[in-house]
C-alpha cells in the first residue's frame, strides 16, 4: 500500500497488454481486464480498479496504453459517472455498492446521470422538494428534477431527495442511487436556447428505490452531496499546461487573421484586451496547476471558473459581432440531443448562446462570488432566516 512505483505500474501495463492484446481483444473485455488489473484509476483501492497508488502514476498508465493503441472508456461520454458518482460511491458507499457499481461505471457499460437540481431548487439546492418516503425496505420517490445531462442514456442516477420535512433543510436530505429503468422515471428532453437538448427534465412518480441503494446515512445527504460537488470543481486544474490561444480566443483570432475586411479599430482594441485576458487566464490556470503539482494548493483555483465564464461570453459575443452579416445566420435550430458539448464544432452563434450557461451551470457566478468572499476573504455571510427553521415552515 502506498509504495507502488512507476516501474511496478509499467510492469502491470505490460502484463495487461500481453494478456489482452489491443486490436484483437474486444474493447469492453479489454477495459474490464484493465479495471481488474488495478489500472483504471490507480489511486482507487485494490480490487476496485486501483492500486492504492499516488494519483500522479495515472499519467504513466495513460502514456503506456496510448502508445500501445489501447481502447479507452471515452471519458467525455461518462463524465458524470467518473467525476461525480464514482468518488461519492467510494467515499460513502457500502462494500456491496462499490463492488456492484464501480466496474461497469468505469468501463462505460453503465452510464450515470445526476438528479440534483429542481425547478425550485437551483442555487438553493438544499431547498429541494422531491420527496422520498420509506416503505419497508424501499423508498418511494416523487418529484421533478431538471438540467440532467445523459438522463436518456443513463442506467443509474445519483439522486438527492427530502426524507424529513420537519427538520431544517440541510438536515432532511438523503442520497440515493436511482435505477433509471424504473417505470416511474419519465425523461423528457429540455430544449435550450441553442435549439438543441443537451439536458433533460426528469419526472419521478412513485419510483421505488431499495434501501440498499442509499448512499450514506438517512438525513446525511447534504454532506454526501458536498463530496460530489467538490469533485465536480476539483476536475479543473489537474492536467497539463495549456498552449497559447487555447479556448474561445482561438476561433476569434483565426477569424481576425483570415478576414481582413471585417476589421475595425474599435473591434481591434476589444480583441487585444480579450487576447490579454485570455493569456492571463491561461497563466493563472498554470499557476494553480504549479501549486497543485508542488503540493501547495491555494484558494486561487476557485476563481478559474468565474474568469472562464466571463471570457467565454465576451469572446463569443465579440466573434458574432465581428462576423457582421454572417453573424446574422445560425447553423441549425433543429432539436438534436448531443452526447457532449462541442464548442468548436459549431458556429459563433452557437458558442455565444451556449456560453451563457457557463456562468450558471456548476454554481452561478453570483454564488461563486459569495463563496470567494466568505471562504477566501473571510467576510461574514448575509443574515439568513432559512437555516434553522424546519423545511416545511419556510416561506415559498
Partner 1 sequence: MSTALPSPAIPDLLYSDVEDDLRAAVRAVLADRCGPADVLGRIETAEPYDPALWRVLALELGLAGLLVPEKLGGQGASAREAAVVLEELGGAVAPVPFLGSAVLATTALLGCDTADPATAALLGRLAAGEAVAALAVPLPSAPGDGFPAAVRADAGGRLTGTVTSVPDALTAEVLVVPALGPQGPGLYEVAAAEAAVERPVSFDLTRPLADLRLDGAAGRLLAGGDAAAAALERALLTGAGLLASEQLGLAQWCLDETVRYLGQRRQFGRVVGSFQALKHRLADLWLDVVSARAAARNAAGVLAALPSDPAEAVLAVAVAQSYVSPVAVRAAEEAVQLHGGIGMTWEHPLHLYLKRAKADEIALGSPGRHRRALAGPVRLPAAG
By CB under 8 A, name the binding residues for partner 1: 241, 243-245, 253-254, 256-258, 260, 263-265, 267-269, 271-273, 275-277, 279-281, 283-284, 286-287, 290-291, 294, 296, 300, 303, 306-307, 366, 368-370, 372-374, 376-383
User: Which is nearer to partner 1, 2 or 265 (by Cβ)?
Assistant: 265
Q: Residues near 294 by Cβ (< 8 Å), separated by ≥ 6?
A: none
Question: Is 200 within 8 Å of 149 (Cβ atoms)?
Answer: yes
Residue 375 DSSP symbol: I
In the complex, least distance from residue 260 CB atom to partner 1, rounded to whole angstroms: 8
Q: Which residues are catalytic?
A: 232
3-state secondary structure of 235: coil
Considering the complex, what minimum distance in angstroms separates the CB of residue 119 from partner 1?
Answer: 24
The torsion region of residue 263 among left (phi > 0), alpha (psi -120 to 50) and beta comes to: beta
Q: Of 113 and 281, which has the nearer Cβ to partner 1?
A: 281
| Distance (Å, whole) CA 395 – CA 251 | 47
% helix, strand, coil for the chain, step of 5: 45, 15, 40
Distance between terminal CA atoms of the chain? 52
Nearest distance from residue 296's CB to partner 1, in Å?
8
- DSSP codes joined into one string, 115-155: E--BTTBSSSGGG---EEEEETTEEEEEEEEEEEETTTT-S
What does the alpha-carbon distance between residue 124 and residue 115 come to, in Å, rounded to a whole number? 15
CB of 63 or CB of 276, closer to partner 1: 276
Taking the complex as a whole, how short is the minimal distance between the CB of residue 200 and partner 1, in angstroms? 32
* Nearer to partner 1 (CB atom), residue 32 or residue 305: 305
CB 236 to partner 1: min, Å: 14
Q: Which is nearer to partner 1, 7 or 381 (CB)?
A: 381
Of 307, 319, 343, residue with least CA distance to 256: 319
CA dist 220 and 227 (Å) reads 12
Task: Name which of 235 and 293 has its Cβ closer to partner 1.
Answer: 293
- Shortest gap between Cβ of 309 and partner 1 (angstroms)? 11
Minimum CB separation of residue 299 from partner 1 in Å reads 8
What DSSP character marks residue 373? I
Cα–Cα distances (Å) from 121 to 74, 115, 306, 331, 381, in that order, read 31, 12, 21, 33, 20
Comparing CB distances to partner 1, the nearer of 212 and 272 is 272
Cell numbers for 92: 460513502
SS3 361: coil
Strands (E), 47-137: 112-115, 131-135
Amino acid at each position: 500500500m502506498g509504495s507502488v512505483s512507476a516501474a511496478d505500474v509499467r510492469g502491470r501495463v505490460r502484463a495487461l497488454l500481453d494478456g489482452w492484446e489491443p486490436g484483437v481483444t474486444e474493447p469492453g473485455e479489454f477495459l474490464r481486464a484493465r479495471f481488474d488489473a488495478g489500472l483504471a484509476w490507480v489511486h482507487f483501492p485494490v480490487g476496485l480498479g486501483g492500486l492504492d497508488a499516488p494519483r500522479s502514476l495515472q499519467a504513466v498508465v495513460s502514456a503506456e496504453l496510448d502508445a500501445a493503441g489501447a481502447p479507452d472508456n471515452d471519458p467525455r461520454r461518462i463524465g458524470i459517472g467518473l467525476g461525480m458518482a464514482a468518488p461519492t460511491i467510494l467515499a460513502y458507499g457500502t462494500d456491496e455498492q462499490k463492488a456492484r457499481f464501480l466496474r461497469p461505471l468505469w468501463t462505460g457499460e453503465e452510464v450515470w446521470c445526476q438528479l440534483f437540481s429542481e425547478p425550485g431548487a437551483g442555487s438553493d439546492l438544499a431547498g429541494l422538494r422531491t420527496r422520498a418516503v420509506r416503505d419497508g425496505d424501499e423508498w418511494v420517490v416523487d418529484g421533478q428534477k431538471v438540467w440532467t445531462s445523459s438522463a436518456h442514456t443513463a442506467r443509474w442516477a445519483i439522486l438527492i431527495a427530502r426524507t424529513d420535512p420537519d427538520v431544517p433543510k440541510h438536515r432532511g436530505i438523503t442520497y440515493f442511487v436511482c435505477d433509471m429503468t424504473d417505470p416511474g422515471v419519465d425523461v423528457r428532453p429540455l430544449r435550450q436556447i441553442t435549439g438543441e437538448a443537451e439536458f433533460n427534465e426528469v419526472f419521478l412518480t412513485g419510483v421505488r428505490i431499495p434501501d440498499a441503494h442509499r448512499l450514506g446515512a438517512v438525513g446525511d445527504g447534504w454532506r454526501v452531496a458536498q463530496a460530489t460537488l467538490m469533485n465536480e470543481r476539483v476536475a479543473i486544474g489537474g492536467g497539463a499546461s495549456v498552449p497559447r490561444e487555447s479556448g474561445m480566443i482561438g476561433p476569434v483570432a483565426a477569424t481576425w487573421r483570415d478576414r481582413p475586411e471585417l476589421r475595425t479599430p474599435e473591434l481591434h482594441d476589444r480583441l487585444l484586451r480579450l487576447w490579454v485576458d485570455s493569456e492571463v487566464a491561461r497563466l493563472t490556470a498554470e499557476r494553480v496547476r504549479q501549486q497543485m503539482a508542488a503540493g501547495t494548493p491555494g484558494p486561487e483555483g476557485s476563481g478559474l471558473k468565474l474568469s472562464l465564464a466571463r471570457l467565454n461570453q465576451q469572446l463569443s459575443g465579440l466573434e458574432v459581432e465581428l462576423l457582421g452579416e454572417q453573424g446574422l445566420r445560425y447553423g441549425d435550430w433543429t432539436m438534436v440531443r448531443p452526447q457532449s458539448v462541442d464548442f468548436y464544432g459549431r458556429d459563433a452563434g452557437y458558442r455565444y448562446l451556449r456560453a451563457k450557461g457557463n456562468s450558471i451551470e456548476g454554481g452561478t457566478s453570483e454564488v461563486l462570488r459569495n463563496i470567494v468572499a466568505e471562504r477566501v476573504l473571510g467576510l461574514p455571510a448575509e443574515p439568513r432566516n432559512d437555516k434553522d427553521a424546519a423545511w416545511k415552515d419556510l416561506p415559498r
